[in-house]
Amino acid sequence: MGAITRGIANNILGNGAVDGTDALTGTIPATNIGNPSLANLTTFPPSVDAGIPQVAGDPPAPSDGDVWYNTNTYKLRVRGASASTGSWATGGSLNTARQFLAAAGTQTSALGFGGDITPNTPTAVTESYNGSTWTEVNDLNTARQQLAGAGTQTAALAFGGFTNPGPVVANTESWNGTSWTEVNDLNTIRRLLGGGGTSTAALATGGFGPPTYANTESWNGTSWTEVNDLGTARYQVSLVGTSTSAVAFGGNVPPRAQTETWNGTSWTEVNDLNAGRESIGGAGTDNTSAMAFGGGEAPVGGPVATELWNGVSWTETTNLSTGRNYMGGAGTRASAVGFGGQLIPPGAVTTATEEWNAGADNLNVDLA
């Protein structure tokens, strides 16, 4: 590299800046420069752990909770949620008021199916949402409530549920955008379970038969396979994410705030919800990005509470306009839709739909 003529102090500070107060001059021998190129540094501040990546700027697509060292600014950075922004707005109403329904899709392309139009009257009604209006489409083959769902508006899965006055069922149906087809059943017959993923790679967990289940099953597009159980058996549990990266939250076990993340192999207990409750509406993409809204059996404010999950903890944000539980939810943490459910108070089922928009949901933030 050769010698470097200097007009600066021989004092490089820990943040990468140079202290020039001594106004020293002279040359730095090449043998004193350990790296062949100052553009390819290999030594970083001791605060940077070997497991934290170094990036010249920010990664192109960081996940929530990711931490890295910015070699341009000499700062540790983290990807997190901006919980101070976001609001709910009124969307188009369902055609059929109901609770205990299942959901799939996104805010502007959602599917709601099954449910209870009360009193204890399961329905097979399926409706499609385009971001403004719900349209009735072909019914489920088996009318049921307290079921779970996964997938998109054009490729969805419905499984489990209760056919009152008939039995709890393990029935699974696949939706191709036009009609429902019976496919292979769950291994464990149950209702009030959580579901997520896609029509070809889904996850089902928890639920009630009786008894209360911790059982988790994975769907490969053809059949269900038993995998590792939840850490805490519960029903009225909510689940969002994929078959390899999901988060389960809430449920009927006090304090109703338990949260567990799934990595494709096993469940791990993580930080609780702020407002413990059950039958919560949910939306999200994986175990680092989710939201929870509404729900019952909570402290005052629980049925309208909205919380954002960033892979580490839940943060309270703007409440739902209409307090309710047993509702459907779809979309992402930045753009979600909640619909139907039971009003709290007075207990009647509703057609109400609300749309969540978070604005600048994800931010890259300096830790120091």
User: Do 207 and 95 sit in the same domain of this protein?
Assistant: yes
CA distance 24 to 22: 5
Residue 151 lies in a domain: yes
Q: Which domain holds residue 320?
A: 87-359
Q: What is the average pLDDT score of the chain?
A: 86
Pairing, β 335-339 against β 328-331? antiparallel
Q: Enter the tokens of residue 150.
A: 């996964």
CA distance 350 to 344: 10
Residue 54 lies in a domain: no
Q: Kindly report, residue by residue over 225-283, the tens digit of the pLDDT.
A: 999 999 999 999 999 999 999 999 999 999 899 999 999 999 999 999 999 999 999 99
Residue 220 lies in a domain: yes
CA distance 237 to 253: 9
What's the pLDDT score for residue 29? 57
Q: What CATH code is carried by the domain that includes residue 229?
A: 2.120.10.80
User: Do 22 and 133 sit in the same domain of this protein?
Assistant: no
Contact 287, 262 (CB under 8 A): yes
Work out the number of other CB atoms within 10 angstroms of the CB of residue 335. 18
In order of 152, 160, 310, 341, the CA distances from 307 in angstroms are 23, 27, 10, 18
Question: What are the φ and ψ backbone dihedral angles of 136, each rounded to 5 degrees?
Answer: -70, 135
Q: Kindly report, residue by residue over 183-236, the tens digit of the pLDDT.
A: 999 999 999 999 999 999 999 999 999 999 999 999 999 999 999 999 999 999
CA distance 133 to 2: 71
335 versus 35: which is more confidently predicted? 335
Report the domain count for the chain.
Answer: 2
Q: Kindly report, residue by residue over 22-79, the tens digit of the pLDDT.
A: 444 555 555 554 544 444 445 555 555 557 888 887 787 676 677 888 888 777 777 7
In order of 83, 134, 287, 307, the CA distances from 315 in angstroms are 6, 31, 15, 5
- The 3-state DSSP class for residue 31 equals helix
Residue 291 lies in a domain: yes
Q: Kindly report, residue by residue over 310-322, the tens digit of the pLDDT.
A: 999 999 999 999 9
Q: Enter the tokens of residue 208.
A: 């009630």
Q: Kindly report, residue by residue over 135-150, the tens digit of the pLDDT.
A: 999 999 999 999 999 9
User: Do 93 and 20 sit in the same domain of this protein?
Assistant: no
Percent of the chain with pLDDT over 70: 79
User: Do 29 and 132 sit in the same domain of this protein?
Assistant: no
Residue 82 lies in a domain: no
123 versus 344: which is more confidently predicted? 123
Residue 145 lies in a domain: yes
User: Do 245 and 332 sit in the same domain of this protein?
Assistant: yes
Residue 45's nearest CA partner among 9, 73, 84 is 73
Residue 170 lies in a domain: yes
Q: Enter the tokens of residue 73.
A: 């600014």
User: Do 39 and 98 sit in the same domain of this protein?
Assistant: no
Q: What angle do CA 163, 168, 174 make, to 5 degrees?
A: 75
User: Do 172 and 27 sit in the same domain of this protein?
Assistant: no
User: Do 32 and 100 sit in the same domain of this protein?
Assistant: no
CA distance 63 to 263: 14
CA distance 94 to 351: 5
Point out which residues pair with 343 in neighbouring strands.
Answer: 324
- The 3-state DSSP class for residue 30 equals helix
For the entire predicted model, the pTM comes to: 0.78
User: Do 222 and 314 sit in the same domain of this protein?
Assistant: yes
User: Do 349 and 252 sit in the same domain of this protein?
Assistant: yes
Pairing, β 26-28 against β 4-6? antiparallel
CA distance 32 to 23: 20
User: Do 106 and 33 sit in the same domain of this protein?
Assistant: no
Residue 294's nearest CA partner among 255, 263, 337, 242 is 337
Residue 332 lies in a domain: yes
User: Do 290 and 226 sit in the same domain of this protein?
Assistant: yes
Compute the average pLDDT of residues 283-308: 87
CA distance 52 to 180: 47
Worst-scoring range by mean pLDDT, 71-85, 121-135, 277-291?
71-85
